[in-house]
Structure 1
Amino acid sequence: MARVQGRVKGLDGLRALAVVLVFLSHKAHVDAIDAGKIGVWLFFLISGYLIIGELHRNRLQIEQNGARTAALLYVFFMKRALRIFPVYYLLLIALTIVHASFYQRDVDLGLAWHFVFLSNFWVGLVHDGWPGTVSHFWSLAAEQQFYLVAPFVLLFVRASRHLRLCAALIAAAACAHLALYETGAIAPLIYAFSPWNFAMLALGGALAIAGDRVSLRTRWSSAVWFVGAWAAIAGFALARADCIDCAQTPASATQSAGALLPGCFDIGLALSLGALFLWLVRRQDSAFVAALEVRPLAYLGTISYGFYLFHNFVPSRLGVAPGLYARLDVPDVAQPFVAILLQFILAVLLAHLSWQVLEKRVLEWKRPLETAIRNRLPARAAAAASQP
């Protein structure tokens, strides 16, 4: 029987941590770690875990209970549309109006690309750079592209093959990601348009599908995966370097092998995040999960979509007032933190208003619409039983 997915504790808190990392990357310009990349990859892991897990269970319903594929497709796209489209397109329409009037008129924002969820393609291959305050839309485009393809693949392929599909995508994306580094692709192309972004979604899905098969009976299971992931990446990098060394001169071989190292680090980092995520969803009684369930953090995760959309539009000059700080005797070292805090508070306020006024109300339509679709297209067994 298809297992019903219960609520996984800690996911809202993890979303909150992810969006804070993205905020710090864009506003505080944290350079010690690539906070933005880690934050976006955590979002991808969570989305893959939830969405692929849902589609996998839906396919099991088709196989075991005679559920209608068409009904499941309609329900899936209805849920995604209600969650993503209203606030996103309202923001884009407002942005189009103000951009034509006064806002960043000297910057090519590529708004037409964002309307059709091709932001990642535009950033990486057309614009060849980050387009002002809409640069973060690339990750929304990647997720939407995934949503357009995943249901047609997973609902029409037997559930027993889903895990292999995820593994194949991860392996192929890893090779493509390394190839981008090896060919000297520009950073925005690697960041926004690399197939590895889809691999992160597939990794989350693989964790959802294989969750019941993975034993975490010991405290060291995730640690073993963590070490194994980095060992596998190191082994692959060394093997690749040996192949390059055999085919090229020593100087060019060293240069090519060095170019691969950031890509190998990306893959190792991603798999490590997967190990952490697996530990979180399988150790629901841990202190870390309890900390993620703290109400303010969980609520920030709930409104994280709006926060992500709006945070980059908060002016970076907000809170920058040296004269005022001098009169208030605010230490120079604390002034940047005050500015960042004010920007964060404004982003939270905008996200809160978006959730309460629009997003939450729109999502209330989800259950009645789902009921109407399922009544219109009942499972085959139920339809047969209702016939005289």
Structure 2
Amino acid sequence: MTNARDIQLDALRGVAVTLVLYSHFLAPGGSSFVGHLGVRLFFVLSGFLITRLLLDARDTSAFASGPALRSFYARRMLRIFPPYFAVLALAWFASEQSRPSLAWHALYLSNFWYARQNDWTPWLLCHFWSLSIEEQFYLAWPLIVLLAPRRRIEAIAIGVIAFSLAYRFYWPIAANPALARDLLPPASM
């Protein structure tokens, strides 16, 4: 049954990627709503899969939070760091415009850079905002799932969702800078 579930999730991931690609290359008038929907769908899938992985680790008989956290972070680093930093190195050589913001990108703070600037410059690296959100999630969420008392995880998840919704409803009223509405972590919880 797990294989059927993973195939379905892979199909949803394909839908998310298709929505983003449509928004970037085919949407009339540069409409970004469909792309935002795709990115949010990807975040939901990622959150579900990571939470499932962490809860499975927690449910093993040999569970210890320290080794589980180290294992989780090591897997993420091995999977994401090499291609990510290779692209940043290419950006260093390919675009002088990217150099002033490279430290922000190297620290997975691209979303804060673009929100602070309220502009998508440098455009070459603007897609890193969503990866920064993912990395910020990967940094915080495992600590919560693996260290919080098991009986509190559901309440914490509901609280995080409620906070995110409150942020999303409040920010359009106080949207200054406007990009912060979509790029800061509370918008993607």
Q: CA deviation at 1:11?
A: 1.9
**Counterpart AA for 2:154:** L
Percent of aligned positions that are identical: 32
SS at match of 2:179: helix
Q: Distance in 2 between matches of 1:195 and 1:124?
A: 13
**Aligned counterparts, 1:30-69, within 5 A:** 30=28, 34-61=33-60, 65-69=61-65
Is the aligned partner of 1:129 residue 2:129? no
Unaligned regions of 5+ residues in structure 2, if any?
none
Provide closer, same or farther for how the CA distance between residues 89 and 97 of structure 1 changes in structure 2, counting only shifts above 3 A: same
**Pick from 97, 106, 121: which aligns with 2:93?**
97
SS at match of 1:183: coil
| Larger RCO (CA within 8 A; separation ≥ 6) | 1
**Counterpart AA for 1:164:** A
1:178 matched to which residue of 2?
169
SS at match of 1:182: coil
**Pick from 22, 25, 28: which aligns with 2:23?**
25
**Aligned counterparts, 1:151-300, within 5 A:** 151-193=142-184, 195-198=186-189
**Counterpart AA for 2:145:** L
2:84 matched to which residue of 1?
88
Question: Which deviations, in whole Å up to 9, do the C-alpha atoms of 1:269-298 show, x marking residues without a partner?
Answer: xxxxxxxxxxxxxxxxxxxxxxxxxxxxxx
TM-score, with structure 1 as normaliser: 0.45
**Counterpart AA for 2:128:** F
Which structure has the bigger radius of gyration?
1
Q: Distance in 1 between matches of 2:58 and 2:145?
A: 7
Q: CA deviation at 1:88?
A: 0.9
CA RMSD of aligned residues (A): 2.0
SS at match of 1:130: coil
Question: Which deviations, in whole Å up to 9, do the C-alpha atoms of 1:237-271 show, x marking residues without a partner?
Answer: xxxxxxxxxxxxxxxxxxxxxxxxxxxxxxxxxxx
Are the counterparts in 2 of residues 177 and 194 from structure 1 also a CA contact under 8 Å? no
Provide closer, same or farther for how the CA distance between residues 51 and 108 of structure 1 changes in structure 2, counting only shifts above 3 A: same
2:71 matched to which residue of 1?
75
**Pick from 8, 11, 36: which aligns with 1:10?**
8
**Pick from 123, 130, 138: which aligns with 1:139?**
130
Q: Distance in 1 between matches of 2:93 and 2:43?
A: 31
Provide closer, same or farther for how the CA distance between residues 188 and 169 of structure 1 changes in structure 2, counting only shifts above 3 A: same
Q: CA deviation at 1:171?
A: 0.4
Q: Distance in 2 between matches of 1:112 and 1:77?
A: 21
Provide closer, same or farther for how the CA distance between residues 29 and 134 of structure 1 changes in structure 2, counting only shifts above 3 A: farther
Q: CA deviation at 1:30?
A: 4.0
Question: Which deviations, in whole Å up to 9, do the C-alpha atoms of 1:351-387 show, x marking residues without a partner?
Answer: xxxxxxxxxxxxxxxxxxxxxxxxxxxxxxxxxxxxx
Q: CA deviation at 1:28?
A: 2.3
2:101 matched to which residue of 1?
110
Q: Distance in 1 between matches of 2:86 and 2:176?
A: 34
Are the counterparts in 2 of residues 56 and 162 from structure 1 also a CA contact under 8 Å? no
